[in-house]
Amino acid sequence: MPELPEAETIARGLRTTVVGERIVGARVLRADILREPKRRFAPKLRGRTITGVERRAKNVLIRLSGDRVLAVNLGMTGRLLPFRKPPRGRTRPGHPAVRLRFASGGVLIFDDTRRFGTVECLTADEWNERAERFGPEPLGDGYRPDDLVRGLARSRAPIRSWLLDQRRIAGVGNIYAAEALFLAGIHPRRRADQVHPQEAAALHGTLRDVLGDAIRAGGTTIRDYRNADGEEGGFARRLHVYGRDGDPCSRCGSAIERDMFAGRSAFFCPGCQPASS
DNA sequence: AGTGTATCCTGCAGGC
DNA sequence: TGCCTGCAGGATACAC
């Protein structure tokens, strides 16, 4: 998916275009991205006004009048695309799943090729309860090196698995886990509780750096990701290890390796990221 | 508390 | 050209 930086970029983009819009129609074209029957979903939206757009973990939250939240999880290929008027011809998204029509004549389309994404209309309370399950936001002011040090010390999971677990830390996915671990010099298979406190503190810094830099670059486009203006992110060319197996490491020249575990590819530099230390 | 595997789904790249 | 396999930014459920 879109990970934290991509969801943040989309939320920021939407904030400038859809806040203030009043929803006059909601059409579900692919009901499997909902978690409830579409007959119940659509009526909940009509007549509501968009009051804000936020991000939590990898979710884009569209705040609605009447204390409702349209919670969008983008899955692997989800996009949120606003248009001033209904798109025609070439500009029409290829896999529209939900289409909101605004009083202004504009539309917001949730498009999702693989349909791993979800769209839910919840009360603010329902969302808040859901959000309790997420770990801390890595870019939050209150997130300190010590929080990561202590979190890692309590787990025997491989560090990459730890970082991908949304209950432990929110918003980190496979790309940024790989990049942060590279920059901190930690092998993705290293047990979390074997990461030394000073390494964990370094990882806290590299995580925040890489996530922040990626937001400033507008996210990473591997293939499908687009921001709310339909544009690609610029961070892909700054990746050190993700998707670069076989390439020489930018630091030491060793060939980047790919290794599969927990069902996903892990990318790392065998020279810079020792399995133990 | 972990891992491995499977599942949801479409598209694309690579091998033959 | 086509057909096949494997893989993809995520999340979840299951057996072990």
Q: pLDDT for A217-269, tens place per residue?
A: 999 999 999 999 999 999 999 999 999 999 999 999 999 999 999 999 999 99
Which residues numbered 144-183 in chain A sit less than 7 A from strand C, measured from CB?
Answer: 164, 166, 173-175
* pLDDT computed for residue A1 by the predictor: 64
Name every residue whose Cβ is closer than 8 Å to that of residue A39 and which is 6 or more positions away in sequence.
Answer: none
Which residues numbered 189-228 in chain A sit less than 7 A from strand B, measured from CB?
Answer: 192, 223
Nucleotides of B under 7 A from a protein CB: 1-12
Overall pTM > 0.75: yes
Looking at CATH, the fold of the domain delimited by A4-131 is given as N-terminal domain of MutM-like DNA repair proteins (3.20.190)
Distance CA A164, CA A180 (A): 12
Q: pLDDT for A51-92, tens place per residue?
A: 999 999 999 999 999 999 999 999 999 999 999 999 998 899
Query: Span A203-218, mean pLDDT?
Result: 98
A262 touches strand B (CB under 7 A): yes
The amino acid occupying position A129 is E
DSSP letter at A273? S
Nucleotides of C under 7 A from a protein CB: 7-12
Nearest Cα to Cα of residue A173 among A264, A268, A259: A264
Which residue is catalytic, options A44, A55, A56, A58?
A: A58
Q: pLDDT for A155-195, tens place per residue?
A: 999 999 999 999 999 999 999 999 999 999 999 999 999 99
Find out whether A163 and A169 touch, Cβ atoms under 8 Å: yes
The amino acid occupying position A261 is F
pLDDT band at A208 (very low <50, low <70, confident <90, very high): very high
A244-CA/C5-C1' distance, Å: 22
Q: Output the CATH code of domain A145-268.
A: 1.10.8.50
* pLDDT computed for residue A45 by the predictor: 97
A29 touches strand B (CB under 7 A): no
- For the record, the structure tokens of A163 come out as 């970082």
Count CB atoms within 10 A of the CB of residue A70: 27
* pLDDT computed for residue A68 by the predictor: 98
* Closest nucleotide to A73 by C1' from CA: C10
Find out whether A204 and A151 touch, Cβ atoms under 8 Å: no
Q: pLDDT for A13-32, tens place per residue?
A: 999 999 999 999 999 999 99
* pLDDT computed for residue A276 by the predictor: 78
Name the β-bridge partners of A255: A248
Count CB atoms within 10 A of the CB of residue A176: 27
The domain spans of chain A are 4-131, 145-268
A154 annotated active-site: no
Count CB atoms within 10 A of the CB of residue A268: 28
Query: Span A103-118, mean pLDDT?
Result: 98
* pLDDT computed for residue A90 by the predictor: 87
* pLDDT computed for residue A154 by the predictor: 92
A5 annotated active-site: no
A72-CA/B9-C1' distance, Å: 18
